[in-house]
Amino acid sequence: MNRIVIRKPGDYSALESVSDPDPSPGPGEVVIRTRACGVNYADGIIRMGLYASARELHGYPITPGFEVSGTIESVGEGVQQWRTGDEVIGLTLFNGYASHLKLPAEGVFAKPAALDFTQAATIPTVFLTAWWMVHRQLHPEPGETWLVHSAAGGVGSALLQLGRLCGAKAIGVVGASHKVDHARSIGADAVIDKSSEPLWTRAEALVPGGFHAVFDANGVSTLGQSYEHLAPTGRLMVYGFASMLPRNGRLNWLGLARDWLRTPRFNPMKMTQANRSVLAANLSFLQAHAPTMQAGMHWLLERFERGDLVPLPVETFPLARAADAQCRLESGRTVGKLALLPE
């Protein structure tokens, strides 16, 4: 098997391609021959050494990656639901950048026939993150108005679609003009292009009374104003801190410390007076909720099969070029998702 290993945190050169013997399944396990491996922003944070769950739950060396698609190559003792050759999606806590992946059978799901392998490999992380925030934390009511930052990215695109399904009006925010059409096509009722218009002036013009929910993965650059633009009973949903991280692969520790100090601290006494809430999510720390995640995955895949949800555009790279893929993702120019192809 071929896989990518990070022996110690660093820049893009820390992503090393290695060859190992193919894995064999144990009892209750399967081995997937991967056809595509999803690439997520968190993978780059793992490379930098800043992803808490990578340090606390695994350590280094580590193979990044949370999602794959492929075919079942072998099954272990006691596995009844899968057969060799079945087309599947696999969810994993790390180890996804690989040509073969051993997983517990319950971490594997049937690939919808409507999706190709690259589309299927790029669904789980972003759509499950969006599903968890919307249906396990937010509990939306029809007619709500949302502000979705990074609306042309993976989670943002998923949120726009889930918002449409639950009857919300979603305003998407993008950072470049070439992302506007995608955000509109995927479900945004209006799009704010912050590269050409003032974000918060435009947001206030579109929704003068404030938003019922704001989804923010930027961190210090927008968190404070995101909170201030909530309506009474509004909820700020935090799931990342992208604006604090570099776009050239190299950490600036002084800048990182400055941004950490500038990150808003929300006063619970003031929050009770304003009736505003702050919620946060990170799927990699939700292992204890595996049955709920499995139910969410089935919910999502049923809607992909029916066409209620549509896959995102995918840009692909060979597995050995994982560094190029992460560089591309961190550039801020991408739309939709990226995937690595082992073959």
Residue 211 bridge partners (DSSP): 230
Domains and CATH numbers, the chain: 2-123+311-341 (3.90.180.10), 126-283 (3.40.50.720)
> Is residue 85 packed enough to be buried (19+ CB in 10 Å), middle (13-18) or exposed (0-12)?
exposed
What pTM value is reported for the model? 0.96
- pLDDT tens string for the chain (343 positions)? 999 999 999 999 999 999 999 999 999 999 999 999 999 999 999 999 999 999 999 999 999 999 999 999 999 999 999 999 999 999 999 999 999 999 999 999 999 999 999 999 999 999 999 999 999 999 999 999 999 999 999 999 999 999 999 999 999 999 999 999 999 999 999 999 999 999 999 999 999 999 999 999 999 999 999 999 999 999 999 999 988 887 788 888 888 889 889 999 999 999 999 999 999 999 988 877 889 999 999 999 999 999 999 999 999 999 999 999 999 999 999 999 999 999 8
Q: Read off the pLDDT of residues 93-139 as tens digits, 9 standing for 90 and up.
A: 999 999 999 999 999 999 999 999 999 999 999 999 999 999 999 99
Q: Computed from CA positions of residues 293, 295, 301, 304, in that sequence, does the dihedral angle turn out positive or negative?
A: negative
Sheet with 169-174, edge to edge strand ranges: 190-193, 169-174, 145-148, 211-216, 230-238, 277-280
Q: How far is CA 108 from CA 53, 272, 294, 306, 307, in A?
A: 22, 42, 9, 20, 21
Q: How far apart are CA 162 and CA 122, in angstroms?
A: 16
pLDDT attached to residue 248: 80
pLDDT attached to residue 289: 86
Residue type (1 letter), 295: A
